[in-house]
Amino acid sequence: MWTWLQRIASPPHFYRLAGRLVPWLAVLTTLLVAAGLVGGLGFSPADYQQGDAFRIIFVHVPSAWMSMFIYVVMAIAGAIFLVWNQKVADVLAGASAPIGASFTFLALVTGAVWGKPMWGAWWVWDARLTSELVLLFLYLGIIALRSAIEDRRNAGRAAAVLSLVGVVNIPIIHYSVMWWNTLHQGPTVTKLDSPSIHLSMLIPLLVMALGFKLFYATTVLMRARCDLLSRERESPWAEEASRS
Amino acid sequence: MKSGKKRLALVGVILLGVGAAAALAFTAFRQNMLYFFSPTQVSAGEAPIGHTFRLGGLVETGSLKRHADGLTVDFAITDTAHRVPVTYSGVLPDLFREGQGTVALGKLGPDGRFAADEVLAKHDENYMPPEVADALKTAGAGPAAVTGRTGRLP
């Protein structure tokens, strides 16, 4: 197991493995997102309170989940880089940040678009919305920190430290709707008892969530390959890879 | 090896970033730690009387009355233990209806009536097709009872 992990973590191996995985992941992403959209917009029934307007849930909720999931992945990769000095982990963390920031932005925008007709406000400063906005600022800070420091290794360390500090925000986002009075409603799917969403709506939602996860996997590997190639451009394997 | 100056700058940037994020969070949370007060808190005198605050709860069933001007409405916000009468003049959000959650921003008058400047609707975490909701209603149970809502107030 350990030797296998070390093999994966060597840049040329990772580069080749990621290259082989990307096309499959891309095809699966397309299929799942298409199925989720058709199921969510076409087959899923309208909500008893919100009518067709609730269908934005199929983009809003998976985006919000991804914004937190990618942050945790990025923080773990950062920790691995800090502790074991694995270059591939740093490359993955760096490649994750812009994707995570995009999903956070998407969650905030779709939330605003949903909030205006249903709540009557684009934005309110309740704990859920505010903590998600802080997450966006964390992502932007990490991206800025990376590009502000010339030396790749130092930039990676600094970004890893900041992303580890910011991890404290993830449980705050999740539990904000239980700890404080918020305008945002409580959790629907992740409640310990049965989810408060009808199965005909839950299935497309979960399909979309899986599609979004694979979209992240596809794009993060693509970005990581590019970054790895540019970082290792002096080494023989990179020259060979860029020629072929 | 990086110079001491650079390291210092690095630490500064991290501290600044974390500080800014934390400051933002705590400022926002201090003011909105409770985004709204419940009628029980209001009757216990915990809400800032004479200042603008948010009052949240359910729109009491049967309490909604429209004035002749068509824009002003009277209703009561309840948390099933206490109720506060509210007056509001303006457009109500689509989801505003009796028995549903709402959050109103305004001031409590000396007569105990809450004058709202803004009324937002708060929906719960239940999603289902209308037929299912109807079936639950005819079965005599609210959607909340069947889907296992924790009974927490909105």
Identify the segments of chain A with pLDDT beneath 70: 1, 190-195, 244
Four-way CATH pick for A22-232: 2.60.40, 1.20.120, 1.10.3470, 2.40.30 = 1.20.120
- Sign of the CA dihedral running B135, B140, B142, B146: negative
Residue with tokens 């097709």: B129
CB of A126 within 8 Å of a chain B CB? The answer is: yes
Q: Which of A57-66, B40-49, B52-61, B90-99 has the highest mean pLDDT?
A: A57-66
Cβ neighbours of A167 in B, within 8 Å: none
Cβ neighbours of A201 in B, within 8 Å: 127-129
CB of B126 within 8 Å of a chain A CB? The answer is: yes
The whole-angstrom separation of Cα B66 and Cα B74 is 6
Residue of A nearest to B13 (CA): A145
Is residue A48 within 8 Å of residue B130, measured between CB atoms? yes
The whole-angstrom separation of Cα B95 and Cα A124 is 17
Cβ neighbours of A117 in B, within 8 Å: 93-94
Choose the closest CB to B14 out of A158, A180, A186.
A158
Report which DSSP code applies to B81. S
pLDDT tens per residue, range A141-173: 999 999 999 899 999 999 998 898 888 788 888
- Sign of the CA dihedral running A52, A55, A57, A63: negative
Closest CA–CA distance from residue B86 to any residue of chain A (Å) = 18
pLDDT tens per residue, range B71-114: 889 999 998 888 899 999 888 888 888 888 899 998 888 888 89
Look at B93 and A118 and tell me if their CB atoms are within 8 Å.
Answer: yes
Question: Tokens at residue A224, please?
Answer: 């990581």
Q: Among residues 29-88 of chain B, which lie with CB inside 8 Å of chain A? A: 29, 31-38, 56
Q: How far is CA A81 from the centre of its chain?
A: 19
> Widest CA span of chain A, in angstroms?
62
Closest CA–CA distance from residue A110 to any residue of chain B (Å) = 17
Could you report the predicted ipTM of this complex, rounded to two decimals?
A: 0.74
Look at A198 and B35 and tell me if their CB atoms are within 8 Å.
Answer: no
Q: 3-state SS of chain A?
A: CHHHHHHHHCHHHHHHHHHHHHHHHHHHHHHHHHHHHHHHHHHCCCECCCEHHHHHHHHHHHHHHHHHHHHHHHHHHHHHHHHHCCHHHHHHHHHHHHHHHHHHHHHHHHHHHHHHHHCCCCCCCCHHHHHHHHHHHHHHHHHHHHHHCCCHHHHHHHHHHHHHHHCCHHHHHHHHHHHCCCCCCCCCCCCCCCCCECHHHHHHHHHHHHHHHHHHHHHHHHHHHHHHHHHCCCCHHHHHHHHC
Four-way CATH pick for B39-123: 2.40.50.140, 3.20.20.140, 3.10.20.600, 3.30.70.360 = 2.40.50.140
Domain ranges within chain B, ordered by starting residue: 1-33, 39-123
